[in-house]
A = this chain, B = another copy of it.
Amino acid sequence: MATLSDVARRAGVSPATASRVINGSSKPVTDELRERVLAAVAELQYVPNAHAQLLARSHRSAVGVIVHDVSDPYFAEITRGLQRVATDQGRLLMICNSYRDPDRELEYVELLRGHQVAALILAGSGYHDEAFTRQLNEKLAAYEATGGRVAVIGRHEHSGDAVMPDNRAGGYLAGRELCGLGHRAIGVIAGPRILTTTTDRLAGLRQALTEQGRELPERRIRYAEFDRDGGAEATARLLDADPELTAVVALNDSMAIGALATLRARGLAVPQQISVLGFDDMPIARDVTPALTTVRLPLVHMGVRAMSLVLGVGAPTPRVEVLPAELVRRDTAGPVPHSTRATAGSAPRARRGGTAS
């Protein structure tokens, strides 16, 4: 691999001069030398060693991002927003997938610190886990103490800058909508219990139901992985236990799509027999059939804001931006069926009783 001194030697100049030409330094260099250097660069296919550069330069430019999984549409959208701002400012992004593993998250914080990123963005739900939260905060504090900037998206644990989707309000919206449509037997397929996103959304939902004199008992909640298969499976369990359900709210759209699949497999018409509500409004939501009624979160905007926060000037007080959720009515939520399926519910019930046989 050609080095700067190779280039300098070939051009018959000092490394200092070569460096100045290549980086467009403010220090003037005569045209003749400049051209000799440029020619040498081209001939040798020289590319500066990024690590040496970062070591020599003081200022750090890259930004580290830790998400659960970029290929999950939720994070893909957020990342799009992050990218947009970063690209505008000529920043390189280092994106790491934690796959919802807290230990991996901790590791990535170290790794990114080691890579001298100028800022760190953690996106995705926090965990109900004291020990982990403390450890993470320690690490983040250490990083911030050395001048690093940190912002989180959608997690409470960090005390600094944050952009927070209003998960609770979103849950509330979902609950109110279903109540308005007359539903009483509402089931929930939720993400992992340990995620704060799950509990926040659930809390909002429960609040809405309670205000309407309805309930959300634990037996009508099923926890599963926050993805399509988790949703499909949780829906099946929910239906087996409670065949008279007239609505199921999924705590994210991927799960909702899984729910739709299970419902279709069981021959239940959506929304005529049973309503489904999603959460997030990821792009595919409008393309499933029937199109998904869901709670929209401004995902791209969340990314944009977080990156702006972290790249902008530091504020004395930590800034917390709460971004509103919004209900998007499409075709999966309808009024509660007049003849509830409770009468026909004897068949599934029989099946449950049948486990004794």
Which of A280-288, A318-326, A340-348 interfaces with chain B? A280-288
Give the secondary structure class of A's interface. helix
Q: Which of A264-288 contact B (CB under 8 A)?
A: 264, 283-284, 286-288
- Whether B83 lies near A76 (C-beta < 8 A) is no
- Whether A114 lies near B48 (C-beta < 8 A) is yes
- Whether B116 lies near A287 (C-beta < 8 A) is no
- Whether B97 lies near A83 (C-beta < 8 A) is yes
Q: Return A225 CB to nearest CB of chain B, in Å.
A: 14
Fill in one digit per residue for A161-192: 1 if any B CB lies within 8 Å of its CB, else 0: 00000000000000000000000000000000
- Whether B287 lies near A50 (C-beta < 8 A) is no
Copies in the complex: 2
User: What's the Cα separation between A54 and B77 when bound, in Å?
Assistant: 33
Q: Which of A65-83 contact B (CB under 8 A)?
A: 70-71, 73, 76-77, 79-80, 83
Q: Is A115 an interface residue (CB 8 A)?
A: yes
Residue of B nearest to A229 (CB): B283
Q: Return A92 CB to nearest CB of chain B, in Å.
A: 8
User: What's the Cα separation between A260 and B286 when bound, in Å?
Assistant: 12
Q: Is A94 an interface residue (CB 8 A)?
A: yes
Partner among B47, B73, B287, B288 whose Cβ is within 8 Å of the Cβ of A71 = B73
Q: Is A23 an interface residue (CB 8 A)?
A: no
* Contact surface of A with B, Cβ cutoff 8 Å: 1-2, 45, 47-55, 70-71, 73, 76-77, 79-80, 83, 92, 94-95, 97, 110-111, 113-116, 138-139, 142, 146-147, 228, 257, 260-261, 264, 283-284, 286-289
20 CB contacts below 8 A, A to B, read A47-B114, A49-B114, A49-B116, A50-B51, A50-B115, A51-B55, A70-B71, A70-B76, A71-B71, A71-B77, A71-B79, A71-B80, A83-B97, A94-B94, A257-B284, A260-B287, A261-B286, A261-B287, A284-B284, A288-B288
